[in-house]
Structure 1
Amino acid sequence: MRHALLAALALTLCPLPAPAQDVAGEFDYYVLALSWQPSWCRATGDDRDASECDQGSGLDFTVHGLWPQYERGWPDHCDTNERDPSRRQTQAMDDLMSPGLALYQWQKHGRCSGLSASQYYATTREAAEMVRIPAPFDDLPRDITLPPQVVEEAFLEVNPRLSPDGITVTCKAEALAEVRICLTRDLRPRDCAPDARQDCSRPRLLMEKIR
């Protein structure tokens, strides 16, 4: 009993070390996250009076972010010697994501890439330009419901380099949220690690019409 008390006291006086800080540039692959803009607008953007949710915006899949990943888990908010992007740099991403989102993505994910802000944004743009949006979804005129597998299969059909294990379709409540695509560090398609394969489990999901 005495030895157990001494051991407990030692643990109290010498606490376990804190988890290691994520290190910029140390990761295994990327996830490119593409949000279905009408779903984001209904859930979040309308309450913010986001300009990208205005009627006539015509936005379908927009870039949520390019996320460094480990084979298990992911880094975020890494320390880096790279400077935060300028307003001009974040505004230059406006055709892919709002400037506010561009800054947030840099702060949470881009700092972990080991790249400068300009390099991270250029890499995000390059990744997004590699992915084709299926024609049925780039001008959706009305709300539809469909199985998540249909969305995945449509992306696979027009992006033959992707594999079924390299793409994930996510949902929030009843609606399509995102399509996530796994890429190597040099932006080649690859299978997602198991913890990144979180496909929507609903039998059908809602795709709201484009605004």
Structure 2
Amino acid sequence: MRKFFTLMAALVLTLGMVGISDARQPKQRDSVAGTFDYYLLTLSWSPTFCLMHPENEQCTGKGYGFVLHGLWPQYAKGGWPESCPPLTQLNAQERAKGLTLFPTAKLMNHEWSKHGTCSGLGAMGYLDAADKALARVQIPEALQPSTTVRYFEASQIAQQFRQSNPGVAENGIAILCSGPELSEVRVCLTKDLEFGACGKGVKNQCRAGQIRIPPIR
């Protein structure tokens, strides 16, 4: 009988600890296509990417400056949906459209699967939105592809984008670095692809002082 009560006590304690553990786990929001607050247009500075991935096909002397990394649905309170069902593959027409926007097929397929499926627009609708978003944001003259190294502070890069894109708010753009070098520029857009405010967690990620802008390959 003593063994029985001992086992029962251990079982109750174990279940209680599981309940406590489960209660401490943050609840994950289900990813539902079309359920998000705004877009994050992410432009990658290709020369920096190619310093770390020289074998990538976008790094074979094509002279890219900024390239489309992705158009990402975001939540205003932070985080984002991803890989929203139903997951579908791009058809031939959609792939052809995507390759006019993304530097590689691998990146295109990844971005559609992880982020595009959550737009609620379908594949061609998402690619059209990415096309319009790219056209919406003008690259500053000082940040066009160049064969020479340049140096700017992150605040200067953001200011150049604001000057080239009237309407970009103070909290509507973020500059990211990889070590001492420019990595990405992220611009926040409404679901109608107008300039808008960034949500929680979207912020500059560069060191203080000047950062290096590598030349094109």
Q: Which residue of 1 aligns with 2:155?
A: 149
Gaps of 5+ in 2: 1-7
Distance 1:10 1:151, change over 3 A: same
Question: Does the alignment pair 1:175 with 2:181?
Answer: yes
Question: Does the alignment pair 1:204 with 2:213?
Answer: no
C-alpha deviation, 1:84, in angstroms = 2.0
Equivalent residues of 1:106, 1:117 under 8 A apart: yes
Q: C-alpha offsets along residues 48-79 of structure 1, whole Å, 9 cap, x if unaligned? A: 3x1x2122x22111100000000121111121
Gaps of 5+ in 1: none
Distance 1:148 1:101, change over 3 A: same
Equivalent residues of 1:33, 1:179 under 8 A apart: yes
Question: In structure 2, how many angstroms separate the alpha carbons of the residues matched to 1:155 and 1:20?
Answer: 33
C-alpha deviation, 1:100, in angstroms = 1.6
Question: Does the alignment pair 1:92 with 2:97?
Answer: yes
Q: What is the TM-score normalised by the length of structure 1?
A: 0.87
Equivalent residues of 1:91, 1:99 under 8 A apart: no
Question: In structure 2, how many angstroms separate the alpha carbons of the residues matched to 1:175 and 1:106?
Answer: 27
| Alignment map for 1:60-139 (pairs within 5 Å) | 60-71=65-76, 72-80=78-86, 83-97=88-102, 98-139=104-145
Equivalent residues of 2:63, 2:145 under 8 A apart: yes
Question: In structure 2, how many angstroms separate the alpha carbons of the residues matched to 1:35 and 1:67?
Answer: 13
**4+ aligned runs moved over 4 Å, structure 1:** 2-5
- Kindly, what percent of the aligned residue pairs are identical? 32
Q: Which residue of 1 aligns with 2:4?
A: none
Q: When the two structures are aligned, how many residues end up with a matched partner?
A: 205
Higher Rg of the two aligned structures: 2
Letter in 2 for 1:47: E
Question: In structure 2, how many angstroms separate the alpha carbons of the residues matched to 1:28 and 1:153?
Answer: 25
Question: In structure 2, how many angstroms separate the alpha carbons of the residues matched to 1:150 and 1:201?
Answer: 13
Q: Which residue of 1 aligns with 2:44?
A: 35
